[in-house]
């Protein structure tokens, strides 16, 4: 089994999708000649030509609008937004036009559009290039939102997203691009959107996470004295309620681990759903491990403190399991 870079999984998924379906095109800044700012589209131009691998001007609103139009007319555009923050100037095309197209046309028109972007912190890129921003998309009916966490999930989710008839946002934690792991590509492999997976079985507490936090959760679980079940949500909207509900019914405890501010993270939805629908199964109040409601620091030392570490997560989980009371986050303890 070969050991591959995770960015290679993005490239392989795009290449296979374009080979299998001539309606798939790739658009974005520097995706063609330069092979992408993170080299995830390297070689696609030579393989599929300039009509299907399209370098765009630095004009996110324009090329997002062009992609929406192309999708409505029968193509399957995959738009690279480089850093997810750059989509701010193109949100109207995605959230007002693409996301509502099926509804407004009474199902006559669909928008098979995929928006890919690197996201998240951990590389010292500062507060304007280190956010996840999944909450911008989770709050828009008509959009699906997924987050990749390793080479296998990257390939499986991206292939499913490209085949979906409606718009999908795929967030790729850029801190993972340079990670290598053993994975053998299977051209038929797909991960259905909306399906989570149990990354590690356990009996004492359910730890729900996604993206780059998956490896943090797994490391914390290994270090913990508690028997921790780790669930990778993979799709943030619609999220897999059945898998999470069944796990909490077994363990009686829920912790969410998010790379998101406390005030807007997806964990609020998961925790409120469990509290409403599975309250009688709980041995303790659900607990969320999040980022502070503050911009991501530029300083490497501060950014490392800002992000949940395996040691911090293990400590928080152990406190919940031993006392059945949610512990305070570090920034409230320090206040």
Report the alpha-carbon distance of residue 137 to residue 142 in Å, rounded.
9
Neighbouring residues of 51: CB distance < 8 A, sequence distance ≥ 6: 25
Query: What single string gives the DSSP state of each residue in 150-212?
Result: SHHHHHHHHHHHHH-SS-EEEEEEGGGTT-EEE----TT----TT--EEEE--SSEEEEE-TT
CB 200, CB 132: distance < 8 Å: no
Report the alpha-carbon distance of residue 326 to residue 320 in Å, rounded.
5
Supply the angle between the helices 151-163 and 6-20 in degrees, to the nearest 10: 30
Report the alpha-carbon distance of residue 163 to residue 161 in Å, rounded.
5
Residue 319 CA, distance from chain mean position: 28
- What 3-state class would DSSP assign to 107? coil
Query: What single string gives the DSSP state of each residue in 18-40?
Result: HHH-TTEEEEETTSSSS--TTSS
Q: Which two tokens stand for residue 31?
A: 């995706």
Neighbouring residues of 171: CB distance < 8 A, sequence distance ≥ 6: 84, 117, 119, 120, 132, 133, 134, 145, 146, 147, 148, 211
**DSSP secondary structure code for residue 232 in this structure:** E
- What 3-state class would DSSP assign to 93? helix
Residues with a catalytic annotation lie at 129
β-pairing verdict for 197-200 and 228-232: antiparallel
Is the peptide bond between 238 and the residue preceding it cis, with omega within 30 degrees of 0? yes
């Amino acid at each position: 089994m070969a050991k591959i870079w995770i960015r290679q999984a993005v490239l392989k998924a795009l290449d296979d999708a374009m080979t299998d379906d001539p309606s798939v095109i790739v658009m974005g800044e520097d995706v063609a000649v330069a092979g992408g700012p993170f080299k995830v589209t390297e070689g696609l131009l030579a393989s599929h030509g300039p009509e299907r691998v399209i370098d765009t001007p630095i004009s996110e609103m324009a090329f997002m609008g062009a992609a929406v139009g192309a999708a409505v007319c029968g193509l399957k555009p995959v738009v690279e937004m480089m850093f997810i923050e750059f989509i701010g100037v193109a949100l109207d095309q995605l959230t007002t036009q693409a996301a509502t197209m099926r509804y407004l046309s009474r199902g006559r028109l669909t928008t098979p559009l995929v928006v890919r972007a690197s996201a998240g912190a951990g590389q010292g890129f500062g507060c304007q290039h280190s956010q996840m921003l999944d909450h911008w998309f989770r709050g828009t009916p008509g959009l699906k939102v997924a987050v990749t966490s390793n080479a296998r999930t990257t390939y499986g989710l991206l292939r499913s997203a490209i085949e979906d008839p409606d718009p999908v946002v795929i967030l790729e934690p850029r801190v993972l691009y340079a990670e290598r792991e053993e994975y053998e590509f299977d051209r038929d492999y797909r991960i259905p959107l909306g399906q989570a997976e149990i990354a590690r079985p356990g009996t004492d507490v359910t730890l729900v996470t996604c993206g780059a936090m998956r490896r943090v959760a797994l490391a914390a679980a290994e270090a913990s004295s508690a028997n921790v079940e780790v669930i990778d949500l993979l799709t943030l909207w619609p999220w897999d309620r059945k898998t999470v509900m069944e796990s909490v019914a077994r363990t009686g405890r829920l912790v969410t681990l998010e790379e998101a501010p406390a005030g807007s993270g997806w964990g609020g939805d998961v925790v409120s759903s469990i509290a409403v629908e599975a309250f009688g199964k709980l041995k303790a109040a659900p607990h969320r491990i999040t980022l502070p409601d503050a911009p991501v620091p530029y300083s490497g030392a501060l950014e490392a403190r800002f992000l949940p570490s395996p040691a911090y997560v293990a400590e928080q989980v152990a406190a919940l399991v031993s006392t059945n009371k949610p512990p305070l986050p570090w920034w409230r303890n320090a206040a």
